[in-house]
Amino acid sequence: MQEKTSFQERFLLTLDSDDTSKLIRSMLKSPLGLSHKVVKCLFNDEFDKIRENLDSIKEFVAGITRAEKLGKDYILAKFYPPLFSFHQFVHSSYRARQGKTLEECMKELLRETNSSLEVPDKLKDKKTIVAEVFKDYNSQRDIDVIAKNNSKIMAIQLRSNVDTGGTTAKASLVEVFGKVLSLPKIKNKSFLYHVGVWETEGNQKTITKEKFYDLLEHHLRALKIKKDKFISDVEGGIDVKQGVSLKLSFGTEEILKTIKEWLGNPDNLKDSAIKDMTKKLESWDDLWLSYAIVSIEMELQEIKGFNNVKYLNGLLSNIKYDTSNFTKSKEFVDLANEITLKIIPLWKKPSIPLDSPSDKSHYIRDLIILKLMYDSL
């Protein structure tokens, strides 16, 4: 029998409420929300609901209709529609949520560096700040991050990389900038429009710059800024008019360098600030754990006919435990470890799809952790 100390550690942001975790939760709010949806999908048995929400195009493009027809006589074909639907749901949702995390990280970094900065969350508050520089500004297109420091304002648009998304997506990064250049500028205010691309690698840097120029061409030609000069200079920053500039940064080091310069190179903003912040976000288990287990459980239910959730709930009905006063992830994990040691001798079904006794016991323990997470939601 395993001792409880031999289990792998787990850290569930959902189940931890100290101050550090609250900060990390705010930055990871969007992907953390996805993990909650995945867990609810499992414990509420909502695989069919996800399948029903699949758009009609994928019915024939992804072969869903064909698989359902064949699935009447072949279990693998029957499994394909819920399999495809679930992974499509997770990955399409994750793509949008990844960008939100970058935004929250950047906002938190600015707030930590200078508490007097205005760094709003809501679109209406961002619009109000931009309208302080450009008269009648009222764009409904959101800017990822806005920071105001007295008479200086910086707008940041973030992308994970430039190799994803078509030409429209690339041009959209400077769409707001194109609109503000058409508006009268209010004196004694400065405005930096900063496009930050998180990854340095990419084959479409020049294409991205060209698309920026194409969208802004009307304004740039009037200012006698030619395309070749724009492409060569935009990474260093281009003054488009008095007090208005555009800069494109590739990589977190360049993004941070631009922010530091805009802030006046404060001593408390380290060169490693972004790396330090992302390091804080690495040690959480909510999403990978829920996604991996739910993927396996879906296959077990559809192909093997095992429902470990129902089986686990039956075993837990005979075990008393109370989590009402828990505030730390460790308390929940320690409890899950203890419950697992009680359940292992009772688990009679051959429904754990892993080979070694260690992996089987960890799987049961992790399933119990997700149960405690689900109950907390």
Q: Distance (Å, rounded) from C-alpha 252 to C-alpha 275?
A: 8
**DSSP assignment, residue 304?**
I
- pTM for the model stands at 0.84
Cα-to-chain-centroid distance, residue 168: 22
Provide the pLDDT confidence category of residue 202 given band limits of 50, 70 and 90: low
CATH number, domain 115-265: 3.40.1560
Q: DSSP H helical segments within 114-183, as ranges?
A: 123-130, 167-172, 175-180
**DSSP assignment, residue 143?**
P
pLDDT tens digit string along 243-256?
A: 999 999 999 999 99
β partners of residue 193: 155, 246
Sheet architecture: strand order including 145-149: 145-149, 152-159, 190-197, 244-250, 238-241
Provide the pLDDT confidence category of residue 140 given band limits of 50, 70 and 90: confident
Domain ranges of the chain: 4-98+286-376, 115-265
pLDDT tens digit string along 26-58?
A: 889 999 999 999 999 999 999 888 888 887 788
Q: Distance (Å, rounded) from C-alpha 166 to C-alpha 338?
A: 51
The reported pLDDT for the residue numbered 4 is 47
